[in-house]
Chain A
């Protein structure tokens, strides 16, 4: 009976563990919450490589020529796998993103067409409206828009204002952020934080005084006409 080298066995477990974890993410679709669809093919390749490395590793578990002293480095790889088994995260949660910042009035560009394909219709609509508001506020003013997002109250003291927000991802969950549009609505108090809604609104703009440059600029604002509650979408992200 050959002797087993525990280190090599653990490493085999790590390789196949990571491979299975990625496989699990893809089969359940949870990968969308981790990585931008554009980047997912690389992760898929990584899964295959993990598989190959694991196969090669099988031949190593009886290799007692290599040190059989316990290698603590292996445990570093086990920790994330254990955490996944214990918690299995599915959504990032606005709370975590709060600490990463909120973006309103960002300058966007439309040229990057490729990533549009990855978005659902309502995500695409949201993205287009944000772009149009940033680029051509004057022609947008007065127009009616319909868009879906969740309620985000950045400043709880404002009872007539909330932010309609979406999660944006440009590469992976670590660089995701909240993109919002200011909305004016009489009964903001009745809206629950994080609640998903569909908003019908008219675009208008408000004046904004910039202290540093001492100029007056215009900011977009949606005058909300009606609100309908909707279900939380399966994939809350908009991909850039």
Chain B
């Protein structure tokens, strides 16, 4: 029980600073970036947009805990679903911090890092393109979130979207514009918004950490490993492991390394690619804003693409 609680809390502690960054960035986007700006930035060419989205991690090196609130906000702000999803899946893999730690973890061997980087890039673009083709942006976010958006539109001038504190102020000083608010009030607005965002994502982080810690403490690793280690089942097992363990993408390579002797290269690449894209913790965090149907379809698409890439690696014997 002590061990369980320690693992449970350590996942929360490890992730919370990054969830906070995500909540803060999301709040800033909400308050300072307009839909028009976003529409202007995004390339008109679909393919170009997807590639640009997938490479954002290079300048925006954040891990998978921080990305969910940001993506949720971007979709609300009108970023096309395919680009948003590509962005979400690629950033936690194709980013200098994660690739460097992979390089170190595998004893300064460039091979696994390259497989991970290229696989993550290609996988994210493919999943983004598929999701964009078959899903409509309207079907992605939960209804209540969309409703909040409508409400927000006419409260926007108060500085804090959810802010009923703002409503009160607006009542007294209806003509006041955001620009005229004092820095202090503005900071307060950002902080309050971050706090709300933290509430809406944090719950799911905690639930995810709980599940993951349960699986880790009470299901023996041998039981998962004994399922088999031939070419196909090794990939499935490693994908399941990545999903269950919910490791931080900066650290998972060190764990992946411990499987090297027992597992195929393709399956380890699958572990390294799937983990940052999707795991228990992330699935639950996604459910803070996305429809269940969409999440299930997204997970299935990611798994199929990831499996296919791992099979290719195994067959080609890279």
> Which of A's residues lie within 8 Å of B, judged by CB?
11, 15, 18, 22, 25, 33-35, 39, 42-43, 45-46, 49, 52-53, 56-57, 59-60, 63, 65-66, 73-74, 76-77, 79-80, 83-84, 87, 89-93, 95-101, 103, 105-109, 111-112, 170-175, 177, 240
Query: Are A89 and B9 within 8 A (Cβ)?
Result: yes
Query: Are B1 and A35 within 8 A (Cβ)?
Result: no
Chain B: number of interface residues, binned into ranges: 35 or more
Give every chain B residue within 8 A of A25 (Cβ-Cβ). 13
Apart from A171-B254, A173-B10, A174-B7, list 11 A-B contacts with CB within 8 A. A39-B14, A49-B17, A49-B20, A83-B8, A84-B5, A89-B9, A99-B218, A172-B251, A174-B213, A174-B216, A175-B248
Chain B, range 4-61, C-beta contacts under 8 Å to A: 4-14, 16-18, 20
Asked if B247 is an interface residue, CB under 8 A from chain A, the answer is yes
Which candidate, B125-133, B143-151, B188-196, is the interface stretch facing chain A? B188-196
Give every chain B residue within 8 A of A103 (Cβ-Cβ). 258
Q: How far is the CB of B164 from chain A (nearest CB, A)?
A: 3
Give every chain B residue within 8 A of A105 (Cβ-Cβ). 261
Given contacts A35-B10, A174-B212, A175-B252, contact A96 B107 (CB under 8 A): no
Given contacts A53-B198, A77-B203, contact A99 B221 (CB under 8 A): yes
Query: Are A76 and B203 within 8 A (Cβ)?
Result: yes
What string of 1s and 0s marks CB contacts (under 8 Å) between B147-174 and chain A? 0000000000000001011011000000
> Which of B's residues lie within 8 Å of A, judged by CB?
1-14, 16-18, 20, 104, 107-108, 162, 164-165, 167-168, 188, 191-192, 194-195, 198-200, 202-203, 206-207, 210, 212-213, 216-222, 245-248, 250-252, 254-255, 257-258, 260-261
Residue of A nearest to B260 (CB): A107
Query: Are B165 and A80 within 8 A (Cβ)?
Result: no
Query: Are B107 and A107 within 8 A (Cβ)?
Result: yes
Give every chain A residue within 8 A of B6 (Cβ-Cβ). 33-34, 89, 91-92, 96, 173
Residue of B nearest to A54 (CB): B195
Instruction: State the CA gap A210–B262 with chains docked (Å).
Output: 12
